[in-house]
Amino acid sequence: MKRSFVYKLFGFILLAGLIVNLASVRPVQAQTTGQADLTLTDLGMVNPHTLTGPTSEVEFTFNMPADWKPDGTASLDLDIMAFFSSLVATESNQTLSGLVGGDLSVFLNDTMVGINTLQTSGEQTLRFEFDATLIAPVTRDSVNILTIRWDGSISCLMNLLSSVTISPTSKLTFGYDESQTSLTLNDFPAPFVIKNSVQPVRLKIALPADPSVGELQAAMILAAGIGQISNGETIAEVITLADFRPAASTRQNVILVANTDSLKSLSLSSLGITTDFQVNASEGLIYFFKPAGGYALLVSGDETGLVKAAQAVSADQVIAGGDAKTMLVSGINPVAAATGLEDMTLDDLGVGELVFTKPNSLSQSFDFFVPAGNKVRADASFDLVISHSQQLDYLRSGLQMLVNGYPAVSLRLTDNTSNQAMFKLIMPANLVHAGRNTVEFVADLYTRDLCTAPTANMAWMRVSSSSLLHMPLEAAIGGSLVSKNFGDFPNAFLTGSGLDNVLIQVAPGEFGKIQAAAKLAGWLGAGLPDHTILQLNAGYADAIDLTLAGNASMILVGAPSDFVGLTEKTQFPSLVFDEQNLLSDQSALEMVTRPQAGQDAGYLAIRGYDATTSKVLLAVLGSTPAGLTYAVDGLVSRQAAKHNFLIVTGENEETGWLDAGIATGENVSASSEQTPVAPGVDAVQAFRVSMLKWVVPTMVVLLAVMLLFLYIEIRLKLNKKQ
């Protein structure tokens, strides 16, 4: 009996221990090599964002670095402040609870990862966990969209106000493996341009220290192309091939620019290139490879083929075959901009139907082109055909049209406009200029039921592709000068097709001048629409094609002494510099400020020409390489926008003004002969002197005549008495 009791007790202890051990078992998480802790500030949120009822949402777009592969369990800790108004006004500061305020849901790439019903107002932290593999790795068109949506419809039905304020300190955490990814040339522009990357990697363009004309032009086209692809968010840094030293400790992506001759002097095996290239004459080569510390792209060929390869890369028109690393470019045939059509539908412009819905399709735009030397007549119009949902609240909904950023028309909606209505809109001719013009539509869509979410099936508007843009052109009136300022950059240079009428003159010598020119090219490209084949011209100032220079807008980059024609009437005759490349007191500017000898100074000047041409001349000059860097950075500063002349002596140290001589080119330097001007006189005193010269003699003569008449009268009276 005792032994039976001991066995039973021992068995009970074993069973209890087994149950406890099973309860303590946890699933084993995959081991990751790194962990990312990102706040919403890292994803672009600057200030707290308030989501108001009944429904609203906010989106964050982000991308992974090229070598990150998310794995394991990810978590999102949302720091929020919830507010629900009570049915009865109260003076208490206590939080409100016991109500159903609404649902806060989180979506990642259109997949719901969690939902939380809020019943308590005040500050709180909500935690959402999900599979990290929902975060997409980098590919050609990949982007991760994190959506936080507030649905307070139930509060709205009870006549309660509701809102949720999201703090930028909210944190997204996930693990990742840094492993060799399977990126190929077909993934371009990734990994060189990754929009909204949580960990950006520097992009560099490497070319010989003394590049040929073809290498220089290819580098400028690539710099402009990077600006075009990234919408100005990425500006490539230009370095020499000698400064490119791949190392695992240095994270960088590089585009190598080298013609066939320069390629022979490189140790390709040390860069990780083992392929023997077979390239025909006038063909361009694009090769994707992975050196230590990042990814690289080789752009090569002879002088002609090199430029072709750069054009293909800059237009984001890259596709590889065979080994998925190599592309050969045989020809580039850019399509001329369609400028001859007076009447163009949205279909003709390649736009098609424009559909507006909440929350992310409320603003859409398209471009049209006006050739240089032309202007739009006053009878330009836009026959806009629209239709929309009848569920819209017409007092709060509408459609606005903007032309080049300026409001032009606001449409009011009714039931009569819901079913294919046409509005004949006047296109303000003064808002349309030569070159690329942008028409943007911004819609406001609200439903009649305040508590119903304005989803795409209830709140929508459509602009028909048959809408007709009537743009009659006429030749611009010649004889009048077109004044320009730095706020016109880069738009004033976009009047051609793919920058085909722009020439960048780079002074030979220091490599810093090429770096400055590449930065300017990046800003030029940022103003162009996607997939434009760039035809930007570039060359050295001492070997420029005069025919090309005579018909193109020009950008001069270098020291003042590098440009012998700088003081000619066709450029800037009012600018005179001394032997140290500093502004001289002989200049005929409205005000001359002379920096101290040896000081780093940058100078900027811009002017337009006759109204019949779109030519613009921009000079970006520096007394030293540092001064040239100051000038480049000063070009896009806020202070420079309203000026046409600027002096920069340091970071945020600049002064400028609108100078008449810079604008017109009519002023000559102070050292030239000038017509002497007589000293001024007192106009009142001069009048008095002139009066004395003729009034006094006249009075004497009149007095003499009067005395003569008086004498004759007396003689007549005496004769009568006798």
Domain tally, the chain: 4
Note the pLDDT of residue 635: 95
Instruction: Report how far residue 534's alpha carbon sits from residue 521's, in angstroms, rounded to the nearest whole number.
Output: 11
Q: Kindly state whether residues 501 and 647 are assigned to the same domain.
A: yes
Q: Kindly state whether residues 258 and 354 are assigned to the same domain.
A: no
Strands 343-345 vs 553-558: parallel, antiparallel or unpaired? unpaired
Instruction: Report how far residue 630's alpha carbon sits from residue 141's, in angstroms, rounded to the nearest whole number.
Output: 36
Using only C-alpha atoms, the chain has a radius of gyration, in whole angstroms, of 37
Q: Kindly state whether residues 351 and 446 are assigned to the same domain.
A: yes
Instruction: Report how far residue 53's alpha carbon sits from residue 276's, in angstroms, rounded to the nearest whole number.
Output: 63
Note the pLDDT of residue 592: 80
Per-residue HEC secondary structure of 455-521 comes to CCCCCEEEECCCCEEECCEEECCCCCECCCCHHHCCHHHCCCCCCCCEEEEECCCCHHHHHHHHHHH
State the residue for tokens 């060929």: 301
Among candidates 258, 306, 315, which has minimal Cα distance to 283? 306
- Read off the tokens for 99: 């109500």
Note the pLDDT of residue 10: 54
DSSP for residue 658: -
Instruction: Report how far residue 416's alpha carbon sits from residue 390's, in angstroms, rounded to the nearest whole number.
Output: 9
Classify 96 as helix, strand or coil: coil
Provide the CATH number for the domain around residue 465.
2.60.120.260
Q: Would you say residue 91 lies in a domain?
A: yes
Note the pLDDT of residue 20: 43
511-526 vs 625-635: helix axis angle to the nearest 10? 10
Note the pLDDT of residue 611: 66
Q: Is 285 exposed, middle or buried (0-12, 13-18, 19+ CB in 10 A)?
A: buried
Note the pLDDT of residue 26: 42
Q: Please say which residue of 153, 178, 203 terminates a domain.
A: 178
Q: Kindly state whether residues 436 and 577 are assigned to the same domain.
A: no
Span between the terminal Cα atoms of the chain, in Å: 197
Q: Would you say residue 398 lies in a domain?
A: yes
H or E element, residue 301? strand 296-301
Instruction: Report how far residue 184's alpha carbon sits from residue 181's, in angstroms, rounded to the nearest whole number.
Output: 9
Q: Would you say residue 334 lies in a domain?
A: no
List of residues 6+ apart from 294 with CB closer than 8 A: 191, 201, 246, 250, 251, 252, 253, 254
Q: Kindly state whether residues 152 and 208 are assigned to the same domain.
A: no
Handedness of CA 309, 253, 319, 312 (dihedral sign): negative
- Read off the tokens for 408: 């032009």
- Read off the tokens for 64: 């992974």
Among candidates 614, 381, 338, which has minimal Cα distance to 476? 614
List of residues 6+ apart from 718 with CB closer than 8 A: none
Q: Would you say residue 542 lies in a domain?
A: yes
Q: Kindly state whether residues 527 and 623 are assigned to the same domain.
A: yes
Q: Please say which residue of 131, 153, 178 terminates a domain.
A: 178
Q: Would you say residue 520 lies in a domain?
A: yes
Q: Is 655 exposed, middle or buried (0-12, 13-18, 19+ CB in 10 A)?
A: middle
Q: Please say which residue of 136, 163, 178 terminates a domain.
A: 178
Q: Would you say residue 565 lies in a domain?
A: yes
Instruction: Report how far residue 411's alpha carbon sits from residue 422's, in angstroms, rounded to the nearest whole number.
Output: 11
Q: Kindly state whether residues 462 and 528 are assigned to the same domain.
A: no
Q: Would you say residue 495 lies in a domain?
A: yes
List of residues 6+ apart from 61 with CB closer than 8 A: 43, 44, 143, 144, 145, 146, 195, 196
Q: Say if residues 534 and 311 touch (Cβ distance below 8 Å).
A: yes
Q: Rounded to the nearest 5 degrees, what angle is found at the Cα of 228, between the Cα atoms of 225 and 229?
A: 90
Provide the CATH number for the domain around residue 225.
3.30.379.10
Q: Kindly state whether residues 100 and 159 are assigned to the same domain.
A: yes
List of residues 6+ apart from 578 with CB closer than 8 A: 584
Q: Kindly state whether residues 459 and 499 are assigned to the same domain.
A: no
Q: Residue 561: how many CB atoms within 10 A of its CB?
A: 15
Instruction: Report how far residue 274's alpha carbon sits from residue 279's, in angstroms, rounded to the nearest whole number.
Output: 15
List of residues 6+ apart from 164 with CB closer than 8 A: 50, 51, 80, 81, 82, 83, 102, 104, 118, 150
Q: Kindly state whether residues 153 and 117 are assigned to the same domain.
A: yes
- Answer whether the bond into residue 625 is a cis peptide, omega within 30°: no
| Structural domain for 60, as ranges | 34-178
Q: Would you say residue 701 lies in a domain?
A: no
Instruction: Report how far residue 118's alpha carbon sits from residue 126's, in angstroms, rounded to the nearest whole number.
Output: 10
Q: Rounded to the nearest 5 degrees, what angle is found at the Cα of 38, between the Cα atoms of 36 and 41?
A: 160
Among candidates 401, 400, 388, which has minimal Cα distance to 447? 388
Among candidates 254, 263, 253, which has minimal Cα distance to 284? 263
Classify 570 as helix, strand or coil: coil
Q: Kindly state whether residues 284 and 416 are assigned to the same domain.
A: no
Q: Kindly state whether residues 91 and 156 are assigned to the same domain.
A: yes
- Answer whether the bond into residue 48 is a cis peptide, omega within 30°: no
Handedness of CA 340, 346, 348, 350 (dihedral sign): positive
- Return averaged pLDDT per consecutive 10 residues of the chain, 722 residues in all: 52 54 43 84 94 91 92 96 69 52 94 93 95 92 92 87 95 88 88 92 96 97 96 94 91 95 87 84 94 94 96 93 88 68 89 90 89 86 96 94 95 94 94 88 92 86 96 76 86 86 94 97 90 93 87 94 90 91 86 79 91 86 95 92 93 90 68 42 56 73 82 78 65
